[in-house]
């Protein structure tokens, strides 16, 4: 758990999945935990590498609809980089049951919006004010929803608290920009992906062999 929180965003999704069964574990999940430990041992030389680069805050966000088949809940994931290296990340189940992919991604963007708001304030306090921060999403429908204050029949049921992202956009604090799904590193935080894709996602947030 310490490694996941502090230095290894690449295991955040796996740790989140096995943590759901801590109250009533079985041999199947114990095997998954052992696989995770073997992965950490085999990749012990991988670390977050921070460089003397332009200190620009960038965020990436994604969601996987109904990632949890037991409770039909979706998985949110976000990662924020500073100078190209991850400084904050999250992978967790959403509290509400999303009725569509758009809703699941909108909830994830709202959570990411709260985190980037805090990061911008923190960086300003330490003399690293951010004027070019940006949040990337691979969902065009969510970007349109975040920029449009009109409530449509398919989205009017979304809880008010998840519209927080709109206030950040209206205040000019946070541009929300489209990114290709193949270039979104948060895939590793929301779903099972191939080894090749995991390596690409890890490298894109500053995880390299030390």
User: What tens digit of pLDDT does each residue of 121-157 get?
Assistant: 999 999 999 888 999 999 998 898 888 766 555 565 5
Report how far residue 170's alpha carbon sits from residue 98's, in angstroms, rounded to the nearest whole number. Answer: 25
User: What tens digit of pLDDT does each residue of 156-186 get?
Assistant: 556 666 777 888 888 888 899 999 999 999 9
Question: Residues of the chain with pLDDT > 90: what percent?
Answer: 55
Domains in the chain, CATH or no CATH each: 1-209 (3.30.420.10)
Supply the pLDDT for residue 12. 95
Supply the pLDDT for residue 24. 77
Name the pLDDT band for 2 (thresholds 50, 70, 90).
confident
User: What tens digit of pLDDT does each residue of 59-81 get?
Assistant: 999 999 988 878 889 999 999 99
Residue of 92, 98, 107 whose CA lies nearest to 145:
107
Supply the pLDDT for residue 150. 61
Which DSSP helix (H) or strand (E) runs through 130?
none
Least confident of 88-102, 146-160, 183-197: 146-160
Supply the pLDDT for residue 152. 58
Give the number of residues written for the chain: 210
Supply the pLDDT for residue 192. 92
Supply the pLDDT for residue 19. 86
User: What tens digit of pLDDT does each residue of 3-58 get?
Assistant: 888 899 999 999 998 888 777 777 887 888 999 999 999 999 999 998 877 789 99
Report how far residue 156's alpha carbon sits from residue 27's, in angstroms, rounded to the nearest whole number. Answer: 43
Would the pTM count as exceeding 0.75?
A: yes
Q: Summarize the confidence of residues 180-200 as an average pLDDT.
A: 94
Angstrom CA distances, 169 to 11, 43, 67, 108, 138, stand at 31, 39, 28, 15, 17
In this predicted model, which residue has the larger pLDDT, 193 or 164? 193
- Which three-class secondary structure state does DSSP give residue 167? helix
Report how far residue 104's alpha carbon sits from residue 35's, in angstroms, rounded to the nearest whole number. Answer: 29
């Amino acid at each position: 758990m310490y490694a996941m929180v502090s230095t290894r965003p690449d295991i955040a999704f796996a740790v989140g999945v096995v943590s759901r069964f801590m109250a009533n574990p079985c041999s199947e999940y114990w095997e998954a935990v052992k696989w995770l430990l073997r992965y950490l041992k085999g990749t012990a030389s991988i670390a977050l590498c921070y460089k003397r680069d332009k200190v620009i805050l960038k965020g990436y966000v994604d969601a996987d609809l109904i990632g949890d088949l037991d409770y039909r809940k979706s998985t949110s994931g976000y990662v924020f980089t500073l100078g190209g290296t991850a400084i904050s990340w999250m992978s967790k189940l959403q509290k509400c049951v999303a009725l569509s992919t758009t809703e699941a991604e909108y909830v994830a963007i709202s959570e990411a919006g709260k985190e980037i708001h805090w990061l911008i304030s923190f960086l300003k306090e330490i003399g690293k004010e951010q004027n070019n921060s940006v949040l990337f999403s691979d969902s065009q429908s969510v970007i349109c929803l975040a920029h449009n204050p009109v409530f449509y029949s398919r989205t009017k049921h979304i809880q008010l608290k998840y519209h927080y992202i709109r206030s950040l956009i209206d205040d000019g604090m946070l541009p929300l920009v489209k990114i290709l799904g193949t270039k979104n590193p948060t895939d590793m935080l929301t779903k099972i992906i191939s080894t090749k894709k995991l390596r690409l996602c890890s490298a894109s947030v500053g995880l390299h062999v030390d």
